[in-house]
C-alpha cells in the first residue's frame, strides 16, 4: 500500500510540474541583422534662397542616400542604428554646387503586427546630419605657379550640423527568409538651428535651417 501511495504522489507531482512548465511562456532572444540599402531624401534648404538670388547653382533637394546599419527585432520592440551617405551635384549659370552629407540615425519602434513572414512597426526616428557644400565657378583655373590664396578665388565652402526627430514606420517582408526586404518611411523635424559656417572664412548674413523638415524613404536588404 505504501508503494502505491508513493507512486501516486510522484505521478501527481510529475503532472503538476508538466502543466506548470507548459504554462510558462517561452520567449525568443531578439534577433540582430546587419543590412544595407538605398534611400531617398526630400529636403529643403534656406541656403538655396541665397544661391538662387546670386545666380549660383543651388543644392538638389531630392537626393539618393546609401544606407548601412544594424537592426534588432524582439518580441514587442525593434530598432536600428543606421548610417546614411548623401552626394549630389548641380550646375547653373556656369557655376556648380556639390553636397556631401552623412547621417547617423537611431530608430526605435513598437511591433504592431508580427507574423512569420511580415511585420509592421511604428515609432520614432532620431537623426544627426552633417553637410558640406561647395559652390564654385565651372571654369575656375588654379595656377600652380601662383598659389597665393589671394590670387585664387571662385570657390565657396560651407558646412552645417543639424538634428532631426520625427515619426517613422517600417514594413518587413519575408522576415524569416534568407533574403529579407524592409521599407522604411519617416518625416523628420529639424529642431536645431543648422547654421551655415565655414572653416575658411567668416560667414556674414548666414541662414539657419531650423524648421526645414524632410521626408525619408529607404529600401533595406538584410
For each of the chain's 222 residues, which pLDDT tens digit applies? 444 444 444 444 444 444 444 444 445 678 898 999 999 999 999 999 999 999 999 999 999 999 999 999 999 999 999 999 999 999 999 999 999 999 999 999 999 999 989 999 999 999 999 999 999 998 888 888 888 888 877 899 999 999 999 999 999 998 878 788 999 999 999 999 999 999 989 999 999 999 999 999 999 997
pLDDT score for 23:
42
pLDDT score for 31:
83
* Burial (0-12, 13-18, 19+ Cβ within 10 Å), 115: exposed
For the record, the C-alpha cell of 27 comes out as: 520567449
- Is the four-CA dihedral 193, 197, 204, 215 of positive or negative sign? negative
Q: Are strands 31-42 and 214-221 parallel, antiparallel or unpaired?
A: antiparallel
For the record, the C-alpha cell of 42 comes out as: 526630400
- The CATH classification of domain 32-221, taken from the options 1.20.120.420, 2.60.40.10, 2.40.160.20, 1.10.760.10: 2.40.160.20
pLDDT score for 220:
94
Cα distance between residue 183 and residue 160, in whole Å: 29
pLDDT score for 167:
98
Q: Find cell 538662387 and name the residue.
A: 52
pLDDT score for 3:
42
For the record, the C-alpha cell of 204 comes out as: 556674414
pLDDT score for 131:
97
Cα distance between residue 50 and residue 204, in whole Å: 12
Cα distance between residue 118 and residue 71, in whole Å: 15
End-to-end CA distance of the chain: 65
For residue 196, give the 3-state DSSP assignment.
coil
Closest residue by Cα to residue 40 from 222, 219, 221: 219
pLDDT score for 40:
95
Amino acid at each position: 500500500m505504501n508503494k502505491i501511495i508513493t507512486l501516486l504522489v510522484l505521478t501527481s507531482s510529475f503532472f503538476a510540474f508538466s502543466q506548470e512548465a507548459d504554462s510558462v511562456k517561452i520567449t525568443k532572444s531578439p534577433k540582430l541583422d546587419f543590412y544595407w540599402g538605398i534611400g531617398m531624401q526630400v529636403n529643403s534648404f534656406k541656403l538655396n534662397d541665397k544661391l538662387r538670388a546670386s545666380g549660383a547653382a543651388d543644392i538638389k533637394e531630392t537626393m539618393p542616400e546609401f544606407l548601412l546599419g544594424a537592426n534588432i527585432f524582439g518580441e514587442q520592440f525593434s530598432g536600428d542604428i543606421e548610417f546614411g551617405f548623401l552626394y549630389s551635384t548641380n550646375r547653373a549659370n556656369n557655376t556648380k554646387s556639390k553636397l556631401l552629407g552623412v547621417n547617423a540615425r537611431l530608430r526605435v519602434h513598437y511591433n504592431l503586427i508580427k507574423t512569420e513572414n511580415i511585420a509592421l512597426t511604428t515609432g520614432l526616428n532620431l537623426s544627426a546630419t552633417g553637410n558640406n557644400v561647395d559652390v564654385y565657378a565651372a571654369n575656375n583655373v588654379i595656377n600652380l605657379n601662383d598659389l597665393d590664396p589671394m590670387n585664387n578665388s571662385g570657390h565657396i565652402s560651407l558646412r552645417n550640423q543639424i538634428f532631426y526627430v520625427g515619426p517613422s514606420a517600417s514594413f518587413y517582408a519575408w522576415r524569416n527568409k534568407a533574403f529579407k526586404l524592409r521599407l522604411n518611411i519617416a518625416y523628420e523635424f529639424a529642431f536645431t538651428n543648422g547654421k551655415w559656417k565655414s572653416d575658411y572664412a567668416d560667414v556674414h548674413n548666414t541662414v539657419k535651417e531650423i524648421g526645414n523638415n524632410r521626408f525619408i524613404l529607404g529600401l533595406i536588404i538584410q
